A and B are shown apart, each in its own frame.
Chain A
Amino acid sequence: MAEVASLKVSVWRGGEQGHFARFDVPARENQTVLDVVTHIQRELDPSLAYRFACRVGMCGSCAMTVNGRARWTCRTHVRKVVDADGALELRPLANLPVIRDLAADLAPFFDKWSRAHGTFQPKDARDGAVPDDFAVVPPASKQRREADAGIECIGCAVCYASCDVVAWNGDYLGPAALNRAWTLVNDVRDGGRGERLDAVAGDAGCHSCHSTQSCTERCPKNLDPSAAIAGLKRVLFWDTLLGRR
């Protein structure tokens, strides 16, 4: 890659309907895909729309489709994704409406978090009052470990954009929302377990997952939403079979 003097960058322009615009961007030794997009907007075409905030892999807002694969652009080195001819293709995240150019509308993604009951519901104080005492949750307990395994999600939607089932079924809640639900199902302080399991069951929920694990493969945080979904299926299987729901 270092031999290529300039990158041939194809960038999606427009909304759902649009076209690729070609830009030549100087190649650098150390360069992220977000650097390339920023160069285009600052030096070549100020009308380009894209989204970023932290630039260091904390906020999850700069995810795009880079050469056909959803990635955080801020944590993707150009030399890791371009081939010998320096071609780079940038599109907005898949499975989401396009606002403009490289900015996808994440509203459906976050709506599904709330549909999956992704909010903590205190067991001790459902009305929001402060509980009398601290809940004691041993960090090494099985349930806490299950919850901890998925708790670091920052909602970048890379998994959602990589999921085939979301592409087939627009109602499907998607890996991130189901992962979030699984962390709460395992939170012993939470009081909304039954309603949450109802919300994540069925064709729009965990039972549509084919366990192809694109979400797990592509999660930039190395989380395992596929295992979380399998956990939800397991709980719902036994609860249904034994008449506990």
Chain B
Amino acid sequence: MSASERHGETPAAGRPRSATTRAQTHLWVAQRVTAMVLAIAVVVHLVMIVMAVRGGLSAAEIIARTRGNEAWLAFYVVFALAAGVHGAIGLRNIAAEAVGLRGRGADLAWVAAGLVTAGFGIRAAIGLYA
């Protein structure tokens, strides 16, 4: 007799309960880790904005800084990925609690939405680099 049987648990149809809770835990961990990344990235981003607008803001100045610069490309790719994933998981939680939108299908849709959002940001970062 397994422990889960002893506790009168019936696994959900399809996926065992532990697999579902593990996936949910991974989403939670991903949101926490991306939050840590964002804490640093947002500060760098804000400082960069303040510095960039000093003495006027011009496209040429921005392009001069980012074109061919792997460090800025890497920074913005990580930033966009963290923001997309973090935001989507947060919206998932709000949707689950506020309107009861739950389930594996919804989870996959939210992860996809997060990656698409991140994709737009990464495309913009590549545009500034290339």
A residues in contact (CB < 8 Å) with B: 114-115, 117, 119, 121, 165, 168-169, 192, 195, 198-199, 201-205, 207-208, 233, 236-237, 240-241, 245
Our pick among B9, B24, B33 for the contact of A202 (Cβ within 8 Å) is: B24
CB 8 Å contact bits of B1-29 with A (1 = contact, 0 = none)? 00110011100000001101111111011
7 contacts between A and B (CB under 8 A): A165-B97, A199-B4, A202-B28, A203-B102, A205-B21, A207-B25, A233-B28
Pairwise interchain contact A117-B3, C-beta atoms closer than 8 A: yes
Interface SS majority for chain B: helix
Interface residues on B, range: 20 to 34
Distance, CA A205 to CA B27, complexed state (A) = 14
Pairwise interchain contact B25-A117, C-beta atoms closer than 8 A: no
Q: Which residues of A contact B28 (CB under 8 A)?
A: 202, 207, 233, 236-237
Beyond A207-B24, A240-B29, 7 extra complex contacts between A and B, CB < 8 Å: A198-B17, A198-B21, A201-B21, A204-B21, A205-B21, A240-B25, A241-B33
B residues in contact (CB < 8 Å) with A: 3-4, 7-9, 17-18, 20-26, 28-29, 32-33, 93, 96-98, 102
Which residue in chain A gives the minimum CB-CB distance to B98?
Answer: A168
**A109 → B minimal CB distance (Å):** 15
Our pick among A114, A115, A169, A202 for the contact of B25 (Cβ within 8 Å) is: A202
Q: Which residues of B contact A115 (CB under 8 A)?
A: 7, 9
Our pick among A117, A205, A237 for the contact of B29 (Cβ within 8 Å) is: A237
Q: Which residues of A contact B18 (CB under 8 A)?
A: 198
